[in-house]
A and B are shown apart, each in its own frame.
Chain A
Amino acid sequence: MTSTTPTPDTRRPAPGSIDPVTFEVIRHRLWAINDEQAMIAARMSGSPVIYEVYDFNAGLLTPDGHGLVAGIYILHHAATIDFFVQRILAEWPADDIREGDMFFTNDPWYGALHSNDGILVTPIFWDGRIVAWSGLAMHDEDVGSPVPGSFVVGARDSFGEAPLFPCVKMVEDYRLRPDVEGIFLRNARTPEHNALNLRARLASLTVTHRRIHDLIRDYGVHTFLACQGEIVDYVERVVRGYLREIPDGSWFHQVHLDHDGNDNELYRIACRLTKTGDRLVADFTGTAKQAPGAINCARPALEGAVSGVFLMFLCFDVPWSVGAVHRVLEIVSEEGTVNNALPPAATSMASISGTLATQQAVANAFAKMLLSSERFRDEAQAAWSSIPNCLVLSGLDRKGIPFTTVDMNNCGGGAGARTFADGMDTGGIFHSMGSMIPNVETMESRAPELVVYRRQRADSQGHGRFRGGAGIEMGLTPHKNPEPLVHIVISAFNSQPDNQGIAGGTPAAVNYSVVLRGSELRELFGAGSVPTDARDVACDLTEVLPAKAHTHVRDGDLHLYLQTGGGGYGDPLRRDPELVLADVRRGLISAAVARDVYGVDPERPGLRDELRARRLAEATSAPVERVEGSGEPMHPVADTLEAVRVDGVALIRCTVCRTRLSAYGEDYKAGAAMRERSFTELNELNDVAPATDLVAREFYCPGCGTALALDIQRAGEGLLPECTFGDERRDP
């Protein structure tokens, strides 16, 4: 069955009912109120995932539950707050929704990304009727289940995971209900944290309620309501205008999610993005069936992932109104799939598995779309490091007290390359510009461990004319631990690269967790030496952990961890050689990569030509037809591809050698030369990846050998679509 998002019927005030200055003042105030709500929660929380990584978000919504303003924190939460409020309005008796009530859920089918991400929402009343809602979603360290941290490695369905609260009234008259809170805390391993977090949500919503009342007293309730409609209209107007400037067409991307928590199976997430006029459709048809493991996500999270990408890429200068995004965006998805799972699917890793894999598929397709707009091509970015190589540590601390903590260095990966600059090294995660990683000293005060080293990892990023940002690598060892520590790994993209490049850029390395068992680390310490590379440390056994793992780490063990870098943009052979050499000097790429990937070796001046010739020699052949003449440019397509009309014929050609790739309405990949390789050849760091049938397919201009695109896919699959443009007469 196929379902689509209905267009929300948000009440719109008569145009011109509110003057632009009052609008600007109130808009600004609403943003400030929402941000204050988020920051109060962060200051009060006791969880490092909140106060340090900012794994939460706040939203202000219309009376019918459409997002007006979302915070700069984890974007996926923003859309799910809408979902929860709409569900309360549909299901909860209207006469039992009162001032001072607050509703809670941690159920993925009610709007939580996964069971840890409890949402608290409250109606804001004025004169006896609801004039707005506000909500706060935040991550609790542990909410129960058989596994510390509640990401349940080994679960097959939701009955093996933490208890779910579909929708409960957690607060009455601004006071927590002890009975309901009691159930919630009783099930968790971290009741102290969760109690603080509940109060953080409660206090921040209470303050928002007060602020909105002040605002209504200043401006009147009519103006306040009219302004809400105007905000959504305004954002809608801007983004529709932006979409109209992008050529009509369709762009495709797919990723695979590896390891379902039980087995290293691959789950495909396919996204076709189709833009027509000022509307956008994200179609996930072809996505794998839901998994018998905790990686699935439910529909609210799917919507969160898609609207998050939309906000990041197209709402860079307008308020983040989820309600407006929903008016121009339609999501087509089959129920029962890995990113639109039905109960009783296991979802405890949803926030960092199904949701983020969905984001990566959409973000890549979206970036390809932006590349074809002259105005917005500089907004395109290759994929950022997304899927956390998430690590949960548990055991007894230095004083012998049980602890559970989430490591959070997974927010330290590399940013995707831009069309005009490299991605930021250790730039963080795409879905939250607010997040950060903890200090090493904070980590060591939370858990009995030593961070032997932590650094930007050379060669972890994707390469290209502009490269991705480097990822983060560290080595952890237990220290002053009364008993072996439990390390729970909840990662993905260990079998295949996460952050694929765009426009011929290459993917980043895979994530990994490797444990050097019985290493000679302490002997090195004794000799006055701190190692900074696994190669400097001898050990009994090198154990590559699966993407989802639960292992004991003992004295002398050294856990090597990589949160990978960002994807690259454009053909690496077109990168400025000076930049390549500077990266080598800074230790961000190795000399071997400079030579083999970038063709830069001071001893071998003709190396780039050699490499291009070798590409074509090893690739399938394609006809070479040069179309000379400058013609009439229509729009860009990728770094070295343009749509152009020559002698009245619209076509796509290479900007380097003017070889025709395809007719305007056809996928240019059809005219490209293709070379298939094992993806492990792309990056030496991929050697630790478990064996699969995934391959890399590289597409080149048949005329000059310039790289155009690269897909990671299963060996047996046909060629993947890249992009097709619509009716050429409608070009912008």
Chain B
Amino acid sequence: MEARFRIGVDIGGTFTDCVVVDADGQRTVSKALTTHESLSDGVLAALDVAAGELGIARAELLRGTAMLVHGTTVATNAVLTRGGVRTGLITTRGHEDALIIGKVFSKRAGLAERDIQHSSRLDKPEPIVPPELIRGVSERVDVDGDVVVELNEAEAERAIDELVAAGVEAIAVSFLWSFVNSGHERRVRELLAERAPGVFVSLSSEIAPLLGEYERTSTTALNAYVGPKVASYLAGLEARLQEEGLGGPMLVMQAGGGLTSVEDASGKPILTLDSGPAGGILGARHLGALYGEGNVICTDVGGTSFEVGLILGGEIPLDHDPVVSQYSLRIPKLAVRSIGAGGGSLAWVDAGGLLRVGPQSAGSRPGPACYGLGGSEPTVTDADLVLGYLDPDSFLGGRMALDRDLALAALAQLGERLSMEPEEVALGIFRIINAQMADLIRKATIEQGHDPRDCVLIAYGGAGPTHAAFYGRDIGAKAILVLPRSTAFSAEGMLTCDVVHTAQGARFLGAPFVDGDFAQLGEDFVRLEGQVIEQFAREGARDEEVTLVRELGVRYRKQAHTLIAQVDGGPLSLDSAGPIQERFERRYATVYGEGALLSAGAGIELEAQYVNGTRAVEPPPLRAHDLEPGDGSQALRGERQAWFDGFLATPVYEGSELHAGDALTGPALIQRMGDSLVVPNGFSATVDEYLTIALTPS
């Protein structure tokens, strides 16, 4: 049978989303509850639903599938819930506490201002490797990679035996300066193979070969901690899909945005962290390209959190210091910012008598007051409902009725303490949450030196369409695009990404440069390129399918934070220094301002080297509909009172009845499967050829 389908699967905390795309670009979206005890079951259930929609059996769907792409939260959840395996750590003797000390930084890593201010409540994270499973071994390498103390093999063997006796299932090995000289780590792996077969092993020189033993160790330990679970889950799912005749490869989404093989992901499972949100951002990049927009702000409004990603000049910036559960990581990870602001965020009154919203959330149970499941505190969803933005009868496609009276009662309770009417409180909540979301966007854009006025904003996630016009207007994006199928957009986005492998080096070079520096750097790049090519070859890719890009971390002498500059291919020489400095300073002036540049010819330093290899995957076609200018009146379904500087009788449209080419002016409400799109007054909404609705200030 001809392989005509491509499938994207995103396992989220509540739902497993699935998107099947056929050869014509026709999308079929399905959802199933996530089955935490056995994640494969939820995936298969979602596939069942999709197959049902297509009128075929699941096995037939799988046999006809050319590629299945999969994003998973297994790694993220294993860390957040401390559900990884019993893990041991072997490290340089004298430095056993590095992971526990966490540079002191771990007490606040990833926390919000509000939490950091409250010193009596700060704590370091619960250890992923308990202190009794950390073993120091005598060995020492110095900054130049020279061995100061030989590896004490007797100590290493004893450490391995003790850890095995203590029942560990995974062992991380992280020695000082191993990213310069990995000999001792590799020798310990040989000893582990002999004495602890079957134990999952991670070496820091392979997982995160960069300067900084805390972050390197933490990344390696987390990799070991989630490794056995992710590896066995991925292998299990792949086996079940293959048994059923999966027609093409199963590929895994990585935090850095590229796809990789199951084999590769099983060795570096930490790279699958947060791979769901990554899918959404990649999807947004693809759409941006389709629209000819290189600068995109991706906004995902869920039930408990609001996530923002950025695309600049068609590129997605990486977060070089990501944090999970207060642990710092050194992995390539798309920059995604997140705050506790979503439909379920709770409103409250603080000690100073001010209205506040979030970050606590009512979750799915009891949920917002209007769910009628016992929640008595008002949430953003309650405010949306009272303001008329949500239809009480068509929430989740009518599967769940919302109770406006319960929402009002909850708002009134808060209103009493604020001397405000319930509707005023609702409006206050609505404005505050929108302002918080706009602030996060500002943090991701303006504070990084990017002007949101040069960007289009793409909104997805269940509550995105309700709030998009408001937070979008506040930050001044040039257009706001609300996508069709916005609830499963992350799964769809995974189908648009390429297979990516990265190698990194840690050679340090400082000005004044001498002959030979760059020749050496060029050789490093060639070696890293070789590693990347070899990995692609193992997966069956031909050399000519792979595109390689070289990058360098550059900074002024004495600085610590680097900016990334691209380097041309081919051999390097002393002449390469000029163009590198020029690219660095151009970027520097953009981020920090012209006044911040040092005088011409100031010394620069080159720190990390990266080679990014990409094998392009042709994204599934998106069918363009013919545009027929119209006013959408065929979709008009009546009116509802909704707040637009006062309650107004507002026209309500059925989204599935709108045609490409329809244009409406606000105020208007567009009821869609799984969401409610709000078009405020002063905005117009146009449906484009891909059925995306663009909101623009008129």
Residues from chain B with Cβ under 8 Å of A315 in the complex? 117
Q: Is B403 an interface residue (CB 8 A)?
A: no
User: Is the pair A428, B107 in contact by a Cβ cutoff of 8 Å?
Assistant: yes
Residues from chain B with Cβ under 8 Å of A587 in the complex? 131
Residues from chain B with Cβ under 8 Å of A29 in the complex? 435, 439
User: Is the pair B131, A586 in contact by a Cβ cutoff of 8 Å?
Assistant: yes
Residues from chain B with Cβ under 8 Å of A125 in the complex? none
User: Is the pair A456, B355 in contact by a Cβ cutoff of 8 Å?
Assistant: no
Please, what's the 1-or-0 string for B62-95, where 1 marks a CB less than 8 Å from any CB in chain A?
Answer: 0000000000000000000000000000001111
Per the bound structure, the CA–CA distance linking A42 and B592 in Å amounts to 12
**What's the least CB distance linking A268 to chain B, in Å?**
27
User: Is the pair A528, B152 in contact by a Cβ cutoff of 8 Å?
Assistant: yes
Residues from chain B with Cβ under 8 Å of A51 in the complex? 559-561
Q: Is B165 an interface residue (CB 8 A)?
A: no
User: Is the pair B138, A528 in contact by a Cβ cutoff of 8 Å?
Assistant: yes
Please, what's the 1-or-0 string for A193-212, where 1 marks a CB less than 8 Å from any CB in chain B?
Answer: 10110011011001100010
User: Is the pair A529, B149 in contact by a Cβ cutoff of 8 Å?
Assistant: yes
Q: Is A43 an interface residue (CB 8 A)?
A: yes
Segment with Cβ contacts to B, from A297-305, A440-448, A656-664 = A440-448
Q: Is B274 an interface residue (CB 8 A)?
A: no
Q: A24-B354, A433-B122 are in contact. Are A480 and B95 (CB under 8 A)?
A: no
User: Is the pair B439, A196 in contact by a Cβ cutoff of 8 Å?
Assistant: no
User: Is the pair B352, A52 in contact by a Cβ cutoff of 8 Å?
Assistant: no
Q: Is B101 an interface residue (CB 8 A)?
A: yes
Residues from chain B with Cβ under 8 Å of A381 in the complex? 119-120
Per the bound structure, the CA–CA distance linking A39 and B447 in Å amounts to 9
* A-facing residues in B322-365 (Cβ within 8 Å): 350-356
Count residues of chain B with CB under 8 A from any CB of chain A.
78
Residues from chain B with Cβ under 8 Å of A31 in the complex? 113
Please, what's the 1-or-0 string for A58-82, where 1 marks a CB less than 8 Å from any CB in chain B?
Answer: 0000000000000010000000000
Partner of B213, one of A398, A418, A439: A439
**What's the least CB distance linking A331 to chain B, in Å?**
22
User: Is the pair B104, A202 in contact by a Cβ cutoff of 8 Å?
Assistant: no
Q: Is A715 an interface residue (CB 8 A)?
A: no
User: Is the pair B213, A440 in contact by a Cβ cutoff of 8 Å?
Assistant: yes
Segment with Cβ contacts to A, from B370-378, B491-499, B574-582, B593-601 = B593-601
Segment with Cβ contacts to A, from B140-148, B220-228, B609-617 = B140-148
User: Is the pair B120, A418 in contact by a Cβ cutoff of 8 Å?
Assistant: yes
Residues from chain B with Cβ under 8 Å of A454 in the complex? 94-95, 97-98, 101
Q: Is A241 an interface residue (CB 8 A)?
A: yes
Q: Is A379 an interface residue (CB 8 A)?
A: yes
User: Is the pair A32, B443 in contact by a Cβ cutoff of 8 Å?
Assistant: yes
User: Is the pair B431, A25 in contact by a Cβ cutoff of 8 Å?
Assistant: yes
* B-facing residues in A23-43 (Cβ within 8 Å): 23-25, 28-29, 31-32, 35-36, 39-40, 42-43
Q: Is A342 an interface residue (CB 8 A)?
A: no
Residues from chain B with Cβ under 8 Å of A411 in the complex? 104
User: Is the pair B104, A427 in contact by a Cβ cutoff of 8 Å?
Assistant: yes
Q: Is A123 an interface residue (CB 8 A)?
A: no
* A-facing residues in B451-497 (Cβ within 8 Å): none
Per the bound structure, the CA–CA distance linking A405 and B508 in Å amounts to 19
Residues from chain A with Cβ under 8 Å of B556 in the complex? 46, 196
Partner of B94, one of A412, A424, A427, A455: A455
Q: Is B194 an interface residue (CB 8 A)?
A: no
Residues from chain A with Cβ under 8 Å of B435 in the complex? 21, 24-25, 28-29
Q: A36-B447, A202-B596, A433-B122 are in contact. Are A20 and B94 (CB under 8 A)?
A: no
User: Is the pair B596, A28 in contact by a Cβ cutoff of 8 Å?
Assistant: no
Q: A23-B354, A32-B443, A193-B558 are in contact. Are A72 and B116 (CB under 8 A)?
A: yes
Partner of A317, one of B103, B114, B215: B114
Residues from chain A with Cβ under 8 Å of B536 in the complex? none
Task: Select from chain A the residue with minimum beta-carbon distance to B434.
Answer: A25
**What's the least CB distance linking A344 to chain B, in Å?**
33
User: Is the pair A445, B143 in contact by a Cβ cutoff of 8 Å?
Assistant: yes
User: Is the pair A320, B117 in contact by a Cβ cutoff of 8 Å?
Assistant: yes
Q: Is A328 an interface residue (CB 8 A)?
A: no
Residues from chain A with Cβ under 8 Å of B37 in the complex? none
Q: Is A45 an interface residue (CB 8 A)?
A: yes
User: Is the pair A238, B352 in contact by a Cβ cutoff of 8 Å?
Assistant: yes
Residues from chain A with Cβ under 8 Å of B352 in the complex? 234-235, 237-238, 318
Interface size, A (range):
35 or more
Q: Is B442 an interface residue (CB 8 A)?
A: yes
Q: Is B136 an interface residue (CB 8 A)?
A: yes
User: Is the pair A24, B116 in contact by a Cβ cutoff of 8 Å?
Assistant: no
Per the bound structure, the CA–CA distance linking A431 and B303 in Å amounts to 36
Task: Select from chain B the residue with minimum beta-carbon distance to A72.
Answer: B116
Q: Is B261 an interface residue (CB 8 A)?
A: no
Q: A234-B352, A433-B122 are in contact. Are A46 and B592 (CB under 8 A)?
A: no
User: Is the pair B148, A450 in contact by a Cβ cutoff of 8 Å?
Assistant: yes
* A-facing residues in B119-137 (Cβ within 8 Å): 119-120, 122-124, 131-132, 136
Per the bound structure, the CA–CA distance linking A435 and B107 in Å amounts to 10
Q: A36-B447, A317-B351, A532-B94 are in contact. Are A438 and B120 (CB under 8 A)?
A: no
Residues from chain A with Cβ under 8 Å of B355 in the complex? 20-21, 24
Residues from chain A with Cβ under 8 Å of B593 in the complex? 203, 206-207
Q: Is B432 an interface residue (CB 8 A)?
A: yes
Please, what's the 1-or-0 string for B505-541, where 1 marks a CB less than 8 Å from any CB in chain A?
Answer: 0001000000000000000000000000000000000
Please, what's the 1-or-0 string for A413-453, where 1 marks a CB less than 8 Å from any CB in chain B?
Answer: 00000100100111110100111111111101100001111
Residues from chain B with Cβ under 8 Å of A607 in the complex? none
Q: A46-B556, A424-B124, A425-B100 are in contact. Are A203 and B94 (CB under 8 A)?
A: no
Per the bound structure, the CA–CA distance linking A165 and B19 in Å amounts to 66
User: Is the pair B431, A21 in contact by a Cβ cutoff of 8 Å?
Assistant: yes
Per the bound structure, the CA–CA distance linking A532 and B435 in Å amounts to 53
Residue from A312, A438, A441 whose CB has the most chain B CB atoms within 10 Å? A441
Q: A21-B432, A25-B431 are in contact. Are A455 and B97 (CB under 8 A)?
A: yes
Per the bound structure, the CA–CA distance linking A421 and B123 in Å amounts to 10
Residues from chain B with Cβ under 8 Å of A35 in the complex? 113
* B-facing residues in A463-497 (Cβ within 8 Å): 472, 475, 479-480
**What's the least CB distance linking A450 to chain B, in Å?**
7
**What's the least CB distance linking B92 to chain A, in Å?**
7
Per the bound structure, the CA–CA distance linking A23 and B123 in Å amounts to 31
Q: A72-B113, A530-B140 are in contact. Are A455 and B213 (CB under 8 A)?
A: no
Per the bound structure, the CA–CA distance linking A46 and B596 in Å amounts to 13
Per the bound structure, the CA–CA distance linking A529 and B148 in Å amounts to 10
Task: Select from chain B the residue with minimum beta-carbon distance to A412.
Answer: B104
**What's the least CB distance linking A445 to chain B, in Å?**
5
Q: Is A48 an interface residue (CB 8 A)?
A: yes
**What's the least CB distance linking B520 to chain A, in Å?**
16
Q: A200-B596, A412-B101 are in contact. Are A434 and B116 (CB under 8 A)?
A: yes
Residues from chain B with Cβ under 8 Å of A28 in the complex? 435-436, 439
* B-facing residues in A222-247 (Cβ within 8 Å): 234-235, 237-238, 241-242
Q: A441-B176, A529-B152 are in contact. Are A199 and B94 (CB under 8 A)?
A: no
Task: Select from chain B the residue with minimum beta-carbon distance to A211.
Answer: B446
Q: Is B571 an interface residue (CB 8 A)?
A: no
User: Is the pair A196, B351 in contact by a Cβ cutoff of 8 Å?
Assistant: no
User: Is the pair B596, A426 in contact by a Cβ cutoff of 8 Å?
Assistant: no
Please, what's the 1-or-0 string for B551-579, where 1 marks a CB less than 8 Å from any CB in chain A?
Answer: 00000111111000000000000000000
Beyond A46-B560, A237-B352, 9 additional pairs, beta carbon < 8 A: A20-B428, A21-B435, A36-B447, A238-B352, A317-B118, A427-B124, A456-B101, A529-B138, A530-B138
15 A-B pairs with CB atoms under 8 Å apart are A24-B432, A28-B436, A32-B442, A196-B558, A203-B596, A235-B352, A317-B350, A427-B124, A433-B117, A445-B143, A445-B211, A528-B151, A530-B92, A530-B136, A530-B139
Which B residues contact A (CB, under 8 angstroms)?
92-98, 100-101, 103-105, 107-108, 113-114, 116-120, 122-124, 131-132, 136, 138-140, 142-144, 148-152, 176-177, 211-215, 350-356, 418, 427-428, 431-432, 435-436, 439, 442-443, 446-447, 508, 556-561, 592-593, 595-598, 603
7 A-B pairs with the lowest CB-CB distances in the bound complex, closest first: A46-B558, A453-B94, A203-B596, A436-B105, A25-B435, A428-B104, A530-B93
